[in-house]
Chains A and B, each alone.
Chain A
């Protein structure tokens, strides 16, 4: 292990400039990826904040029977995702409506001789990551029930937002994949240059009885070290940017969505990013070395 570490150090030292250029390239690439991740995380949190306010409103037909009402209430109480249920009668709904619009003093409300509003159940759901999906599934159940006029849960805009988030997810995966591929090629090339710088020594090592691993390990460590350093620098860069934006724009953000903060990527994502940096370094160096070892041992 000590020998491998020493050899890694010698490799880096003999090719320092190329090593640093490679680390800088990895930093830039991971910063781009990280930036997209930060945007994604914050949009996701925006969606969560808004979807927490979403309630499912089940509007009832005027002709609903007591039996149908009971059956609906049973369905609601059987669902463990429902946090609370409020029944709003036709009269209460009308009173609320009039109360809300009393300031407008519209003659239209006073002139209306009948109550056009239906009675309804207002359902609040417990917080969970797939809360919106559950609300939608539950709403679909009500649509088919007798006595139900319609259901309402802001599906149009939440659905559009969800589609947008799905697009962002696919976009992130594609960008991440492409950047990863590019980085593998860059690291592979750096390791190749490092190899050529010490080719004579490496060939001699193999000739005098070094195991392939003895030759391979220092270069693998170098590749992984490059990846890791690039990943760490990129994270530091994004963190600084996030702090700057937070200080500058937190006030504006609060006015759009109360209680929302401009967030950094979560710890598992940070670890995931560093792990992929290590993995990319490993793959890049492995490709370079394997090619050399398979051609350099025997003609």
Chain B
């Protein structure tokens, strides 16, 4: 589902952000992407989502050579991927239901489908009772659950999560992790970036470790 071959990226600083990264993720697999802060986890996820370009190597996502996708066609890649951000990126002026429905609206779904899919996504993350609340009225864990519902509402093939539990306490973090594992069970490929070693040890998923822009053995 995801294949990286000798990927390199530099922002022009002394040390490159990524050096010769090669690994793959199978369809329906769940992997932890870990490493210290500044190791290159976020850069790698941004490359997979094509909000950053890479300088060398090849990247295939769901059969697409993402370096060759023109900007005007990027939406074809992004519709296959659900991205969960550490800072949630919820719209403050929209309520929970509208925030999740927004992902359906931008891909041009009809109203009936938007209502159905949004309700289903909110049910999966257990937030139907908060549908009329606004982001600022929710706890961090609830906000992240809304973000996950938004990432899942378009039934993506892949979920990329950038430190989704970084701002949450351990109990809530495990609840959030379970939502991603639930998506994996439904056949979604999950790349879960975290530096929470306790969380990684508590599960039996494959671990990819990056240090100073390079892959190292776990």
Contact = CB atoms under 8 A, between A and B. Distances in A.
Interface string A209-233: 1111010000000000000000000
B55 interface: no
Given A207-B78, A208-B103, A298-B52, A214 B89 contact: no
Nearest to B154: A209
A208 B74 contact: no
Nearest to B106: A210
A209 B106 CA distance: 7
A132 B91 CA distance: 68
B150 A208 contact: yes
Contact of B51 (A209, A211, A214, A298): A298
Interface stretch (A52-60, A168-176, A197-205, A255-263): A197-205
Contacts of A3: 105, 108
A299 interface: yes
B83 interface: yes
In the complex, which of the residues B79, B105, B154 has the most CB atoms of chain A within 10 Å of its own CB atom? Answer: B105
Interface in B24-53: 49-53
Main secondary structure of the interface of A (DSSP, over half): helix
B14 interface: no
Q: Size band of the B side of the interface?
A: 20 to 34
B71 A207 contact: no
Contacts, number: 54
B72 A209 contact: no
A55 to B, nearest CB: 65
A273 B150 CA distance: 46
A156 interface: no
Contact of A208 (B53, B106, B108): B106
Nearest to B89: A204
Interface string B95-129: 00000001101111000000000000000000000
B5 interface: no
Given A3-B105, A297-B71, A207 B91 contact: no
A297 B74 contact: yes
Interface residues of A, number: 18
Interface in A160-213: 200-201, 204-212
B107 A209 contact: yes
B75 interface: yes
B79 A212 contact: no
Nearest to B153: A208
Interface string A273-299: 000000000000000000001100111
Contacts of A208: 78, 83, 102-103, 106, 150, 154
The 5 A-B pairs at the shortest CB distance, nearest first, are namely: A210-B106, A209-B79, A209-B78, A297-B71, A209-B75
Given A208-B154, A209-B106, A214-B106, 15 more contacts: A201-B91, A204-B89, A206-B78, A207-B49, A208-B102, A208-B106, A208-B150, A210-B75, A210-B106, A210-B107, A212-B71, A294-B71, A297-B74, A299-B51, A299-B52
Interface of B: 49-53, 71-72, 74-75, 78-79, 83, 89, 91, 102-103, 105-108, 150, 154
Interface of A: 3, 200-201, 204-212, 214, 293-294, 297-299
12 contacts: A200-B89, A201-B91, A204-B102, A207-B51, A207-B78, A207-B83, A208-B150, A209-B106, A214-B108, A297-B71, A298-B51, A298-B53
